Amino acid sequence: MSKVSYYTEEGLKKLRDELNQLKDIERPKASQAIADARDKGDLSENAEYDAAKESQGLLELRISKLEEVLSNARIVNESDIDHSKVLILSTVDVKNLSSNSTMTYTLVAESEADLAKGKISVNSPIGKGLLGKKKGEKAIISVPSGKIELQIMKITR
């Protein structure tokens, strides 16, 4: 059973662009590579042909996965977001209570996550731990290095 994923318009456009690139440009290249390798003779001992077929299989798998994601994708209307608690597309200022440091994260869909830009996936341990919390609440989150305690300082967007 497929699960619904929520995206910004920008994130959904990136997925559609990638799918179009794979279908319109990469798929014909893969077919041409197979045809070129086939023209080189005996297929039973043709490593180039085997590699081209494997590459085509991986490409088709990626296309199939993208099509499934897009079929279950929903655009989040930012004006409908409840700003009193942390949800997808919320920008959250959190304070690490053990180190006293503050961080700002925007919770996004998994494919839009980019830690360098402060965008974390709602499926990440921190994202899951923050979801549904309100300003002032604390979240104890299990991460690979142990447990961290974060306090929600501000929710925007």
- 106: Cβ–Cβ under 8 A, 6 or more apart, which residues? 89, 90, 91, 92, 118, 119, 120, 157
Encode pLDDT of 87-114 as tens digits: 888 899 999 998 999 999 999 888 888 8
Tell me if the pTM is above 0.75. Answer: no
Looking at the domain that runs over 80-156, which CATH code has it been given? 3.10.50.30
Asked whether 119 and 113 are in contact (CB, 8 A), the reply is yes
Query: SS3 for 37-105, per residue?
Result: HHCCCCHHHCHHHHHHHHHHHHHHHHHHHHHHHHHCEEECCHHHCCCCECCCCCEEEEEECCCCCEEEE
Place of tokens 């300082």: 153
> What is the residue extent of each domain of the chain?
5-75, 80-156
Phi, psi of 118 (to 5 degrees): 80, 15
Architecture of domain 5-75: Orthogonal Bundle (1.10)
Torsion over CA of 129, 134, 137 and 141, rounded to 10 degrees?
Answer: 0
| Ordered per-residue pLDDT tens for the chain, 157 residues | 457 777 778 888 989 999 999 999 999 999 998 888 888 777 677 788 888 889 999 999 999 999 998 888 888 776 666 678 888 888 999 999 989 999 999 998 888 888 899 999 988 999 999 999 999 999 999 988 889 999 999 988 7
- 30: Cβ–Cβ under 8 A, 6 or more apart, which residues? 52, 55, 56, 59
Place of tokens 């360098």: 116
